[in-house]
Amino acid sequence: MSPDTIAAIATPPGRGAVAIVRISGDRAMEIARRLSGFDPAPGRARFARLAADDALVVAFAAPRSYTGEDVVEIQCHGGSIAPRRVLDSALAAGARLARRGEFTERAFLNGKLSYEQCRSVLDMIDAKTVRAAEDAFAGLKNERARAARRIYGELVDCSAAVEHALDVDEGELPDGFLDGVKSRAAGIAAGIAAEIAKAKEGKILRNGAMFVLAGAPNAGKSSLMNALLKENRAIVSETPGTTRDFIEEWLDLDGWPVRLVDTAGIREATDAVESEGVRRTGELVAKADVVVALDCEIEAKSVIAVHAKCDLGRAACGAINVSSVTGEGLDELKREMLARLDGCVADAGVDGQAAALAEISAALDGLPDDPVLVANRLRSAASRLGEELGATYSEDMLDRLFSRFCVGK
């Protein structure tokens, strides 16, 4: 059990019908009793008057709770005052204010959630589309971890077999032993490569892909952004240079989260403010996963050429002709944007799995010449893959993960 009891507001700040104050630890029931005047009954909800507010007290006995500890959740009126007063009462009664992600960290340390599931909790909170939420939910159910952990187990077994054989007699390995190791390692490498592809897609679902609209003033960038979003998000004007800074919104592109960015028109600036806007446009173009270039030539990792005013009677060769007024060409543009996501996925990177795959490839290159090198490579691969999956972890890894959570999670 944890040495102290923590408390925090578990719902986001601002106006709302209900807020929840969560208490977890050895003294959770005692603190709730001091606040409410009665003994909380696990599995039952009971009304109470506390901190000058009507509240609902719900208790969960260890280990059948989110954290694996005794947990009490107090539901009170929303807003900022009521939950703050309930929290202050809990702190005065002996609880400590929770750190960021500490509830989920305790769930991990108490064996209620795996490392992968903890990451999935964060993914669920941050999901921008239904597809992203479904991917996170699959992680919460451990679906996306099972195959990877099976591969990790096979890699550990293969590494252990080689090291055991070397311990017995490095000079005389059994006939065909290294051929068998090579076959097993090749199969493991293929499995890791498949998991990397899935993990890269997951990174796009979590982080989104950045599509930047770039072009000269009055090229139709803001109108195109509004048409893609199906709302009047950006100001549209006949006056050149209306957009002085960038505007960013999330676009649900067939379930994929896309960060759509409208930028200042690219031209020789007429004043300091516009000059700063043009400079920022250059920075965004350099960082973009894909640039949607409206009637301009631009250098970037991936570029979609677009002519955005085809309703005015002029079409452009070598570009997708789009009308933000009539909707012509928008479906074609969206299909091309979806196609470019493959490139974004390819650049996403999965460090631990990629490093493990590189170590196995190096081990295969060492077969059958240096069995000691093979053993070292396989051991290193297992270590890197285990760290990626949370099968092995360091304090720094845990700090990096749980510091990204809000205080009440």
Over residues 58-62, mean pLDDT: 96
End-to-end CA distance of the chain: 19
Give the CA diameter of the chain.
Answer: 82
Give the chain's mean pLDDT. Answer: 84
Same domain, residue pair 228 and 330 = yes
3-state SS track over 194-240? HHHHHHHHHHHHHHCEEEEEEECCCCCHHHHHHHHHCCCCCCCCCCC
Secondary structure letter of residue 273 according to DSSP: H
Q: Among 130-139, 237-246, 317-326, 396-405, which is the least confidently predicted range? A: 237-246
Percent of the chain with pLDDT over 90: 36
**Residue 224 Cα to chain centre, angstroms:** 28
Same domain, residue pair 100 and 83 = yes
Same domain, residue pair 297 and 211 = yes
CA distance 294 to 211: 13
CB 255 within 8 A of CB 201: no
Q: 196 vs 10, which has greater pLDDT? A: 10
- Domain termination site, one of 94, 113, 132: 113
Give residue-wise pLDDT tens across range 20-33: 999 999 999 999 99
Same domain, residue pair 88 and 142 = no
Residue 1 has pLDDT above 50, yes or no: no
Q: 341 vs 400, which has greater pLDDT? A: 341
Same domain, residue pair 188 and 220 = no
Q: 232 vs 269, which has greater pLDDT? A: 232
- Output the pLDDT for position 197: 77
Q: 223 vs 7, which has greater pLDDT? A: 7
Same domain, residue pair 264 and 177 = no
Q: 316 vs 229, which has greater pLDDT? A: 229
What CATH code is carried by the domain that includes residue 264?
A: 3.40.50.300
The answer to whether residue 398 is domain-embedded is yes
The answer to whether residue 88 is domain-embedded is yes
Which residues partner with 20 through β-bridges? 75
Q: Considering Cα of 63, then 66, then 67, then 69, what sign does the dihedral take? A: negative
Distances (CA, A) of 315 to 193, 265, 308: 43, 21, 9
**How many distinct helices (H) and strands (E) make up the chain?**
13, 12
CA distance 117 to 139: 6
Residue 87: give the domain boundaries: 6-113
- Output the pLDDT for position 409: 67
Residue 248 has pLDDT above 50, yes or no: yes
Residue 133: CB atoms within 10 A of its CB come to: 17
Same domain, residue pair 321 and 263 = yes
Same domain, residue pair 192 and 221 = no
- Domain termination site, one of 327, 346, 365: 346
CB 233 within 8 A of CB 247: yes
CA distance 291 to 213: 6
Look at the pTM and tell me if it is higher than 0.75: no
The residue to which tokens 């578990």 are assigned? 10
Give residue-wise pLDDT tens across range 131-168: 889 888 888 887 767 778 888 888 888 888 888 888 77
The answer to whether residue 243 is domain-embedded is yes
CA distance 168 to 290: 55
Q: Number of folded domains in the chain? A: 3
The answer to whether residue 356 is domain-embedded is no
**Peptide bond just before 42 cis, omega within 30 deg:** no
Q: What is the identity of the amino acid at 117? A: Q
Instruction: Give CA angle at 95 (92, 100), nearest 5°.
Output: 120
Which segment, 246-260, 346-360, 386-400, is predicted with the most confidence on average? 246-260
Which of 69, 81, 76, 78 is closest to 23 using CA atoms?
A: 69
Q: 196 vs 290, which has greater pLDDT? A: 290
- Output the pLDDT for position 167: 78
The answer to whether residue 358 is domain-embedded is no
- Domain termination site, one of 113, 147, 177: 113
Give residue-wise pLDDT tens across range 387-398: 776 665 556 556
Same domain, residue pair 226 and 335 = yes
The answer to whether residue 153 is domain-embedded is yes
- Output the pLDDT for position 277: 72
The answer to whether residue 236 is domain-embedded is yes
Residue 290 has pLDDT above 50, yes or no: yes
CB 69 within 8 A of CB 2: yes
CB 233 within 8 A of CB 227: no
Give the chain's length: 409
Same domain, residue pair 299 and 333 = yes
What CATH code is carried by the domain that includes residue 24?
A: 3.30.1360.120
Q: Among 8-12, 135-139, 279-283, 363-367, which is the least confidently predicted range? A: 363-367
Taking only Cα atoms into account, the Rg of the chain, rounded to an integer number of angstroms, comes to 28
Burial 7-21 (b: 16+ CB within 10 A, else e): bbbbbeeeeeeebbb
Same domain, residue pair 170 and 189 = yes
Phi, psi of 170 (to 5 degrees): -65, -30
Same domain, residue pair 78 and 19 = yes
CA distance 404 to 409: 10
The answer to whether residue 62 is domain-embedded is yes
CB 378 within 8 A of CB 159: yes
